[in-house]
Amino acid sequence: MKELEGRVAIVTGAGSPRGMGRAIVEALAREGAAIVASDVAAVEPDPIMEMTGYAYGADQGLDQTLDAAQGLGVPAIAVRADVTSPEDVERLVAEAVKAFGRLDILVNVAGGSWGSNRVGDYEPDQWLKTIRVNLFGAFLTTKFCLPHFEAQGKGAIVNIASVAAIRAHDMVSAYGASKAGLVQFTRDVAFEYGPSGVRANAVLPGDINTDMLAMEFRGMAMLSGASEEDLAEQSAALTPLRRLGQPGDVAELVAFLASDRASFLTGLAIPVTGGKELPFRQQH
């Protein structure tokens, strides 16, 4: 029997063609979990997305994510929902329970960064948009899943945060603040709902080779004159393992945290960075 057979998982942010959400769906499906894949129906572009001509996220790949899960032999449905809308999130959870009769796993992947600037120059609406999607969205999905977890005396939540939660970066204070808040929110959920059998953990990816990272490299290349390939190589060179992460590196950890093998693990914030958060040293 597969580790997650008989369990039902909601994965938000699952629509990006080469994203962590899709990789997580596939990892959970390989372990037998029924899948509820979700993403927003349309994404509001930010200046970087407009400059590079690419809109990551939204649901352009959600049907393919659904096909991938079903191709692994598990039942799966797709639900378009905006994680910042209480009505959408309540509907998402209701559709999951209606389709499968239960709910066991929540993976909050939906997120992004709207705007990039020094703190004093940030547009307030861009700062708030980032906080709403990355932090408020995770609150809403958790809020509506918790009654089902409590009723059955068991549930696993995995929040995709970022190494930006524990390291300072230029020009992305909203993103870093939202992800740091998500880590603390994870701890609070673990503390409050542990007696009900609910576990909550956070994963902190570093530079993962996704559509979102490719868009960032493209934008940096347009501004700096460097090539996207050079920027990727520079990022890898600052990582002790000397490579970019792959979506599967994150997905395998998520599948473990959702399983009974991690039954005594809760309230953790685990970097998946190849060691990039370690103190910098001059490369030789």
pTM for the whole structure: 0.92
Q: What is the pLDDT of residue 244?
A: 94
pLDDT of residue 50: 59
* b/e map 158-177, b = 16+ CB within 10 Å: bbbbbbbbbeeeeebbbbbb
User: Digits of tens for pLDDT over the chain (284 positions)?
Assistant: 899 999 999 999 999 888 999 999 999 999 999 999 999 987 666 666 655 555 555 667 899 999 999 999 999 999 999 999 999 999 999 999 999 999 999 999 999 888 778 989 889 999 999 999 999 999 999 999 999 999 999 999 999 999 999 988 777 899 999 999 999 999 999 999 999 999 999 999 999 998 877 777 676 767 678 877 877 788 888 899 999 999 999 999 999 999 999 999 999 999 999 998 887 655 54
**Which pLDDT does position 217 carry in this prediction?**
67
Region 8-268: CATH code: 3.40.50.720
- Tell me, what's the pLDDT at 149? 98
How high is the pLDDT of residue 105? 99
Q: What is the pLDDT of residue 55?
A: 56
Catalytic sites, residue numbers = 175
pLDDT score for 230: 75
Domain extents for the chain? 8-268
